[in-house]
């Protein structure tokens, strides 16, 4: 073995304990061994950095032991090189590879299936990427092939592989950098606000350097929901992960899957914004907050409840900036006959107008659209709500606070002494509220309210079940509007077909009266559902003398329905089928929401 010169480089010769020719006393073997050691150590350090990235979003148990393992491997390299010589190289690579495999397998158990690395999908994607690169090099023009093409540097190759890893969640723990000014238009403003309008959370701006991962996840989830037009957001814990589901056009669909720590952090952030007790996880809680998204303002109602896997939270999103409500009754899908009759009803000097339907059927929107038809300058309009969902100019709006003893009934008694012309009672829930509202309707006030009932006729039996006197119902109630929300067909992919003869016969139409109707198909524009947006389906029962005579302690539902049909009321399903003939929705959708 050639002697090493007595200079600083002789330290490298410690690794060169085998016969390799040297030139002019230069230890080629020692330099080669030192380079291999440095490369393996750099690879171990790079892997440790990647491990740290994963800890941000998918925490791994006993992470300190994994870091200690990498450190031990790095410090063992020079000892192994000194004692084992060239054989340390395959042993070190085998050790680092095995360690990387074990950590990656453990990491894959903590992330969603589509972000795992040790899968056939990832390998096939990597293989496809390499094949595409080889194909692009092979198909390069001959002239270009003759030219000197600078091969990509090591840094460029690492960046390409890092990009592929990011696609599979390889850097999920990093917060996104603020977009540069040249990247296009700035994203819309987004802020979370408390009831009084103050910021709900500090440092919630997208460009804030101190923004936490939880705030970033909440922003992303709410902006996605608002962009999709969702009315509800569900954060549901399961055994190993959280599901985020959105209710779009009345139908729940999966949005994303997140880890348990991320889901718990998001719920804690939302509880802070909603003024809930973040330490209380054993009982249901509810609260409210607001969100500004661009030019739109959303009122958000949050409700949490304990489950076997942890807390679940549901958010109700209400766009209080206007929309359908400000457009008035003409834009909520009412047929011309119902629209004209309803406008006549709501301009009466006294009486009661009830809107009925299940939760999420658009009752509040219809009531507000009706209020928008009344001149607030000439009328004293007061609303009693739980909570206040839409903000209206020129109208007094009062929120119910049950915890403080401020109920619908107590507020209603007080408001009646303030000379109101029009009252809105958010919902009739008990006998006391129903009686006071009916008495107000009989003493020179017009009362709007909502009630949970299946249709207009069942509204009568629902009020009787609350304990109201039949005579009070006969004299106070002016009209009842039952409604549902049906999904509208996507205009870009709806598919025409001849209408079933039974449908035309039921509606009293001739076979040639309507040549085609439409059904859902699905396209990228509507997300493959075949539907986009919703439209109202209604039935209006205006109280007549014949209907009033039938309201007794035990009215006959069949006789009430016959009387309403004689008065010109068309059922919810019939109104929906009329919209099918206009190409607005499908038969299957009408059947779904009316049966």
Taking only the tens place, the pLDDT of each residue in 83-130 is 666 666 777 777 777 777 787 777 776 665 656 677 776 676 666 666
pLDDT tens readout for residues 364-412: 889 988 988 888 888 999 999 887 777 777 889 898 887 777 888 889 8
CATH topology of domain 324-486+536-571: Rossmann fold (3.40.50)
How far is Cα 165 from Cα 159, in angstroms, rounded to an integer? 10
Look over the chain and give the mean of its residue pLDDT values, rounded to a whole number: 80
pLDDT given for residue 69 in this prediction: 75
pLDDT given for residue 527 in this prediction: 83
pLDDT given for residue 570 in this prediction: 92
Banded pLDDT at 23 (limits 50, 70, 90): very low
Task: Please tell me the least confidently modeled range out of 88-102, 223-237, 551-565.
Answer: 88-102
- Asked whether this chain's domains 188-319 and 324-486+536-571 adopt the same fold, the reply is no
Is there a contact between 326 and 300 (Cβ–Cβ < 8 Å)? Answer: no
Query: Among 354, 414, 355, which residue's Cα sits nearest to residue 382?
Result: 414
How far is Cα 518 from Cα 497, in angstroms, rounded to an integer? 6
Percentage of the chain lying above the pLDDT 90 cut:
38
How far is Cα 457 from Cα 45, in angstroms, rounded to an integer? 73
If you average pLDDT over each of 61-65, 160-164, 334-338, which comes out highest?
A: 334-338
If you average pLDDT over each of 59-63, 152-156, 201-205, 276-280, which comes out highest?
A: 276-280
Task: Please tell me the least confidently modeled range out of 76-80, 229-233, 293-297.
Answer: 76-80
Q: Which residues of 416-451 are buried (b: 16+ CB within 10 A; e: fewer)?
A: beeebbbbbbbbbbeebbbbbbbebbeeebbbbbbb
How far is Cα 594 from Cα 265, in angstroms, rounded to an integer? 40
Banded pLDDT at 553 (limits 50, 70, 90): confident
pLDDT tens readout for residues 1-10: 444 444 333 4
Range 188-319: architecture per CATH: 2-Layer Sandwich (3.30)
pLDDT given for residue 365 in this prediction: 86
pLDDT given for residue 175 in this prediction: 43
Q: Mean pLDDT across the stretch 577-582?
A: 94
Domain residue spans in the chain?
A: 8-110, 115-140+152-167, 188-319, 324-486+536-571
Backbone angles phi, psi at 252, to 5 degrees: -75, 140
In this model, does residue 181 exceed pLDDT 50?
no
Q: How far apart are the first and last CA of the chain?
A: 93
pLDDT given for residue 10 in this prediction: 40
Task: Please tell me the least confidently modeled range out of 404-408, 436-440, 481-485.
Answer: 404-408
pLDDT given for residue 178 in this prediction: 44
């Amino acid at each position: 073995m050639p002697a090493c010169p007595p200079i600083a480089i002789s330290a490298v010769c410690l690794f060169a304990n085998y016969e390799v020719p040297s030139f002019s006393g230069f230890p080629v073997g020692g330099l080669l061994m030192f380079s291999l050691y440095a490369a393996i150590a750099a690879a171990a350090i790079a892997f440790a950095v990647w491990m740290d990235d994963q800890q941000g979003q998918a925490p791994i148990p006993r992470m300190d032991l994994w870091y200690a393992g990498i450190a031990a491997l790095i410090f063992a390299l020079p000892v192994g090189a000194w004692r084992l010589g060239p054989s340390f190289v395959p042993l070190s690579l085998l050790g680092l590879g095995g360690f990387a495999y074990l950590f990656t397998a453990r990491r894959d158990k903590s992330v969603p299936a589509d972000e795992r690395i040790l899968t056939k999908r990832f390998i096939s994607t990597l293989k496809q990427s390499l094949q595409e690169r080889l194909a692009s090099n092979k198909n390069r023009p001959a002239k270009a092939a003759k030219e000197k093409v600078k091969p990509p540097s090591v840094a460029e190759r690492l960046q390409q592989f890092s990009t592929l890893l990011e696609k599979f969640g390889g850097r999920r723990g990093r917060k996104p950098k603020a977009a540069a000014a040249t990247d296009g238009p700035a994203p819309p403003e987004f802020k979370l606000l408390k009831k009084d309008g103050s910021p709900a959370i500090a440092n919630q701006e997208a460009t804030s350097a101190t923004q936490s991962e939880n705030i970033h996840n909440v922003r992303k989830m709410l902006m996605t929901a608002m962009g999709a037009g969702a009315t509800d957001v569900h954060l549901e814990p399961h055994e190993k992960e959280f599901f985020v589901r959105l209710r779009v056009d009345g139908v729940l669909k999966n949005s994303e899957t997140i880890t348990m720590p991320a889901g718990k952090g998001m719920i804690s952030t939302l509880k802070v914004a909603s003024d809930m007790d973040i330490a209380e996880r054993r009982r249901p809680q509810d609260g409210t907050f607001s969100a500004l998204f661009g030019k739109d303002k959303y009122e958000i109602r949050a409700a949490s409840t304990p489950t076997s896997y942890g807390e679940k939270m549901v958010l109700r999103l209400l766009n209080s900036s206007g929309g359908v409500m400000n457009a008035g009754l003409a834009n909520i899908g009412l047929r011309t006959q119902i629209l004209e009759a309803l406008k006549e009803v709501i301009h009466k000097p006294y009486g009661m107008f009830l809107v009925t339907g299940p939760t999420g059927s658009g009752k509040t929107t219809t009531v507000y659209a009706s209020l928008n038809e009344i001149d607030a300058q000439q009328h004293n309009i007061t609303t009693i709500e739980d909570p206040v969902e839409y903000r209206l100019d020129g109208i007094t709006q009062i929120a119910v606070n049950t915890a403080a003893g401020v109920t619908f009934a107590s507020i209603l008694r007080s408001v009646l002494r303030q000379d109101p012309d029009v009252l809105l009672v958010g919902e009739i829930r008990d006998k006391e509220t129903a009686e006071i509202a009916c008495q107000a309707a009989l003493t020179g006030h017009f009362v709007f309210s909502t009630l949970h009932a299946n249709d207009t006729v069942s509204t009568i039996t629902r009020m009787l079940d609350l304990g109201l006197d039949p005579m009070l119902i006969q004299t106070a109630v002016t009209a009842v509007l039952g409604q549902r929300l049906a999904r509208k067909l996507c205009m870009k992919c709806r598919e025409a077909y001849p209408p079933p003869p039974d449908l035309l016969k039921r509606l009293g139409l001739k076979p040639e009266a309507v040549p085609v109707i439409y059904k859902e198909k699905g396209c990228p524009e509507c997300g493959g559902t075949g539907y986009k947006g919703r439209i109202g389906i209604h039935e209006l029962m205006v109280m007549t003398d014949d209907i009033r005579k039938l309201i007794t302690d035990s009215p006959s539902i069949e006789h009430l329905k016959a009387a309403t049909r004689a008065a010109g009321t068309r059922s919810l399903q019939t109104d929906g089928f009329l919209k099918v003939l206009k190409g607005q929705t499908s038969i299957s959708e009408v059947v779904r929401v009316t049966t």
